Amino acid sequence: MANIDVIDYEESTGRLREIYDDLIAKRGKLASVHTIQSLRPESIVKHIDLYLEIMFTKSELSRARREMIAVIVSVNNNCEYCQVHHAIALNHYWKNESKLEQLKANYELANLDTVDQALCHYAKLLTIDPGKANNENLTQPLKDAGLSDSAILDATLVISYFNFVNRIVLSLGLSMTKQEANGYKY
């Protein structure tokens, strides 16, 4: 149960109902991470625009890699909601439940290629110790793994976005079961 008031679909009217209907049409259903913002409907629109820009637009990073980064950030923030949702999204591409479970338990043992290992390490560092970047070039291992500056920017945007969303989810008391996480359009 959320820690603040939420206007559910059935109670929504006007602009909020339009936003909800649009999300259902495009995504297959409403996510709690959007309905938690129901008291500020336009923030839902801006939030989904940012999400789509970071996660779905053309990038050197595949959709799977971006979902993998989302999982690593969420694991390190102990955000079960985003872990569940984005692990399902990642497995839509990987189709390997045991690899996915190993990624969540310890990405270093998940049989990932060099680029994925570097991305996971970068995601973990920026999540648990973002200030470390003040004293150390955290992007060099990504460059050494062959990633371009554009790909590094995209990875940083994914990491930053999921740290933002994890904090919304955790502070406002959202939870998600695996059953609730199914049914979205990927």
pTM for the complete prediction? 0.92
Asked whether 102 and 110 are in contact (CB, 8 A), the reply is: yes
Token duo for residue 66: 């971006």
Distance, in Å, from the CA atom of 145 to the CA atom of 67, rounded to the nearest integer, reads 19
Tell me which residue has tokens 């390190």. Answer: 76
Rounding to the nearest 10 degrees, give the CA dihedral for residues 185, 152, 170, 3: -70
Q: What is the mean pLDDT of each run of 10 residues along the chain (186 residues)?
A: 93 98 91 94 97 97 98 97 94 96 96 97 96 89 98 98 97 75 58
Question: 44 to each of 34, 48, 53, how far by Cα in Å?
Answer: 6, 6, 14
Confidence at residue 177, expressed as pLDDT on a 0 to 100 scale: 56
Distance, in Å, from the CA atom of 36 to the CA atom of 8, rounded to the nearest integer, reads 9
Q: Which of 3.90.1580.10, 1.20.1290.10, 3.30.930.10, 1.10.10.10 would CATH assign to domain 63-181? A: 1.20.1290.10
Confidence at residue 27, expressed as pLDDT on a 0 to 100 scale: 86
Query: Which residues make up the CATH 1.20.1290.10 domain(s) of the chain?
Result: 63-181
Distance, in Å, from the CA atom of 86 to the CA atom of 109, rounded to the nearest integer, reads 20
Indicate the helix (H) or strand (E) that contains 46. Answer: helix 41-56
DSSP character for 29?
S
- Of 89, 85, 87, 52, the closest CA to residue 169 belongs to 85
Confidence at residue 100, expressed as pLDDT on a 0 to 100 scale: 97
Confidence at residue 133, expressed as pLDDT on a 0 to 100 scale: 82
Which residues 6+ apart lie within 8 Å of 6 measured at CB? 35, 36, 38, 39
Q: Provide the residue count of the chain.
A: 186
